[in-house]
Amino acid sequence: MAGFNGDRESFSGDLSFTAPAGGVTRGKGYKIGATYLVARETAVSGVAFVGAIQGSVYAAKVTGVVVAKGDAAYQTIATNVMTNAIGSGTGTVLIGKFLADAATADTKSLVFIVNPLI
């Protein structure tokens, strides 16, 4: 699959953030304050990094799950990766749509982020 975790397919919605406790990993989703984002770079706690809050970006995907173009993209709270299955309780948060098919073995997929809190 083309692209890397956290890489852009098209530009929009990049902002600077400070990494929370535990840091951030490129391509994984996080909630910083009231904003959901996909980290565009890896950073340790307290260090500035760039995060994508909207637009299309390659994001880490739950392995073992098949996603289809157009499926809803949910960020898993526990692991910070994307899935197309809604979790119960506080397990997932809807953040956008998958823009490409991905097989069970794929570790990333193209996601269009529509930040639910902006």
pLDDT in 10s for each residue of the chain, 118 residues? 445 555 555 555 788 999 999 999 999 999 888 888 899 999 999 999 999 888 888 999 999 999 999 999 999 988 999 999 887 666 888 889 999 999 999 999 999 988 665 5
Contacts 24+ apart (CB under 8 A), 62-67: 63/104, 63/105, 63/106, 63/107, 64/104, 65/104, 66/101, 66/102, 66/103, 66/104, 67/98, 67/101, 67/102, 67/109
Domain range list for the chain: 14-114
Whether the model pTM is above 0.75:
yes
